[in-house]
Amino acid sequence: MVEPIPLSRPDIGPAEIEAVTAVMQTPFLSLGPKLREFEEHLEQRLGSPHAVATSSGTAGLHLCLRTLRLQPGDEVITTPFSFIASANVLLFENLVPVFVDIDPLSLNLDPERIVEAITPRTKAILVVHAFGNPANMPRIMEIARKHDLRVIEDACEAMGSRINGKSVGTFGDLGTLAFYPNKQMTTGEGGAVLAQQNSHADLLCCLRNQGRKPTGAWLDMEELGYNYRMNDMLCALGIAQLQRLDEILEKRRGVAARYDQLLGGIPEITLPPRTSSPSDMSWFVYVVRLSEDFTQQDRDEIFQGMAAQGISCGRYFAPIHLQPYYQKLGFRQGQFPLTEAAGKRALALPFFNQLTQAQAECVSQCLLENIHRVKTIQT
């Protein structure tokens, strides 16, 4: 039994604690000056005309749909290989999720399958940058322009990722970020929407604050809105994290490099997908895939074996279309074989800024021991 190694751990230091404490000594705990300051920092860092902070990434995705005025029954093409929120928000608005299978190398939406799925009812594409690895946005935007489709980027796992120097989340009409504690940077809970148009930003600000226009009276509601605000304490935490973002991303690249060195060349393992230039990818998690010799039951046995030794792992991702609620909607096994194959054999290893070389070696050794144990059982 080793000293427990968690799956993730936020990187919070004295600067973050001081920033939050300072806000708590003011009367501005919500809708105060730190909200706009945080948004301005995001705009500058990501090269986006507008950033609108929200209470979570899920809230941000929901507001994207409301802002684009999509109507019940409209079809939105998206991926079944994602955290479930990216599909759930479509159901919130009575939209029709049209899943298409993934590219087996990048684990992101396959652009050519998007083309095949477009119908007269298709109104938008919701792209997910899985695990921080950027999707093929140039090709997806080309398809969207040709078919007059709106594009929402779920960049909740990809803070800091870029394509040819351009931040993900800024290619489409709207892009969403998330700052949950397991993300590259955190505000505890929270997210943001990146917008290219002034009108979209204005509506986002209105919708997140109960439907009030920013210049309107407190009790005058112009829209059907939500309480999707981010408070000033979380914004202060976000500002402090943004000021350390380059350091944070470099640490995460270092952890990924350690695992690459320890696990590269092992035939039973496929290392995580990444862009052609490592500097373009912001590491969210480190997900390996077992070879085709292993079943989902084998993967789960390895997962349980590592947990018994104090090492937390994650089974990223369970395909959305196979979740019980989605099967009630008519989705079924076999529809998206590449997604299902990835979901059966994927295993996220402990990954956080402070992970040491010794811990990475411990995780890798434990993983290999459990792989060999399962192979022995197979034979």
* Residue 6 maps to a domain: no
Is the pLDDT at 349 greater than 60, yes or no? yes
Domain-embedded: residue 71? yes
Residue 5 lies in a domain: no
What CATH code is carried by the domain that includes residue 358?
A: 3.90.1150.10
Instruction: Print the domain residue range for 343.
Output: 245-378
Question: Which of 226, 243, 260 finishes a domain?
Answer: 243
Residues 265 and 209 in one domain: no
In a domain, 3, yes or no: no
1 pLDDT exceeds 60? no
Q: Residue 203, class by beta-carbon neighbours within 10 Å (0-12 exposed, 13-18 middle, 19+ buried)?
A: buried
- Looking at the fold, whether 239 and 111 belong to one and the same domain comes out as yes
pTM: 0.96
Separation CA 283–CA 127 (nearest Å): 18
What is the pLDDT at residue 279?
59
The per-residue pLDDT for range 139-148, each reduced to its tens digit, is: 999 999 999 9
CA distances, 330 to each of 76, 91, 201, 326, 339 (Å): 17, 14, 36, 7, 17
User: Both 228 and 281 in a single domain?
Assistant: no
* Domains of the chain: total: 2
Closest alpha carbon to 78 in 284, 338, 321: 321
* Same domain? 146 vs 204: yes
Q: What is the C-alpha to C-alpha distance for residues 176 and 359, in angstroms, rounded to an integer?
A: 32
The token pair that represents 325 in the structure block: 């609620």
| 261 and 160 in a common domain | no
User: pLDDT per residue over 138-188, tens digit each?
Assistant: 999 999 999 999 999 999 999 999 999 999 999 999 999 999 999 999 999
Query: In this structure, what is the dihedral angle of CA atoms 261, 265, 269, 271, given to the nearest 10 degrees?
Result: 50
* Domain-located, residue 2: no
